[in-house]
Structure 1
Amino acid sequence: MESANELIYVVDDDRRVRTALSALLRANGRDVQTFGSGGEFLDGTRWNVVACLILDLRMPGMNGLEVQKLVNMDSRIPVIVMSGRGDVQSAVLAMTGGAVDFLTKPIHEDALMRAVDAALARARVFHKEAKDVATLRALYRSLTPREQEVLPFLASGLMNRQTAEILCITEYTVQVHRGHIMRKKRADSFATLVRQVGKLEIEISPATTSDA
């Protein structure tokens, strides 16, 4: 179990439920933060850690489905939804919205921990992807403006000569830029460079006539 630097958020308007879930999760070695409403959770600080959200669907004011929608717009936190029995329609909507699991109250410990393990496994993937993209963005910013301009043309499959014609520079200049780009982007192959550009979703800039 990978629990270091991992966090579980619990959002439920019922204090007794929050207390019970928090105690159960902590007994299983998990770090927990609890919130009495969706608004309180959304207004709070969410740390840059591997995390998942256990969210009650039936709450006064902002309900769980509304909170889930806002969370999905703002971040990639896997959501486990919970509610009373017979709330099939809400369960379907929550799962359609990307929830990892739907748990009915009273929640059994085994079902809860299975759902949490699945949610945190997904969160680890999201966290790694976010760190990888942040690293790629930092490497991209290390390129000169001309290298940033050359990069998407090369990654799109154009030959050095074709890129040179579009940018009105010499083919030799493109070759030099290509070597610098590969080194700065830490790409061990051209295929790796293409995958990096795809993750960054870099668009081809309009051709310019200045040289570098």
Structure 2
Amino acid sequence: MIEPAPGIAIRDTSSPMGGRILAEGLSLLNEIGLEAFAFKKLADRIGCTEATVYHYFATKQRLLQYYFQIYWLWLATHCQQEGRALKDPLARLHGDIRALCGLWPTDALAAQFDPSALRELVISEGSKSFMHKNVDSDNKLKLFKPYKDLCAHIANELKACVPRMKSSRSFATTLVEMAHSLEFAMHHLPALTELSEKKERQKLAEFLIDLSDRYLDRK
């Protein structure tokens, strides 16, 4: 069972009520977005009091960060497990990029939370988890560690491909961000990318794999 950072939730979310809050909260956030989301709406949806929800999470920002931690932890674990059978670092990198783009085997979807639903939330609300005034204090609490660990994993694979590479962390972060921001663009801001013509994740993965291969060739 994947667990986020201690302290992000006030109470143990493994209880039946905690499970309902997490399941319905994810669904509601994907339906209406963070701005319209409120604990009162979530409480009405699951048939409890607003105070009950506050017993588990101090703010809707913390609930959002909980989902993001779960997503990045799951994705990093998936990439590491899939890569163990591959000796070629470039093959591992290509597999990681496909995973970043949401191209997962069917058995990978049998997770604690639906990874596709978590990815949908990250794509639509991702920047709101850290682009705010409290980002420095949240960073001290290690709330972004799962995201940074995933980027570090991708950076290590880049270095395994080209050991002399000096900008592996920067390019790894670029790949992670583009895998999510370009999917948002191809559905909602189509003029920003040619990928909007077919709106296929496979095409997104092919673009990023080609980009990474060309980048590595220049190093």
Tell me: higher relative CO, structure 1 or 2? Use CA pairs within 8 A at least 6 residues apart: 2
- Fold match by TM threshold 0.5: no
Which TM-score band (shorter chain)? under 0.3
Greater fraction strand: 1
TM-score where L is the length of structure 1: 0.26
- Structure 1 or 2: larger helix share? 2
Q: Which has the larger radius of gyration?
A: 1
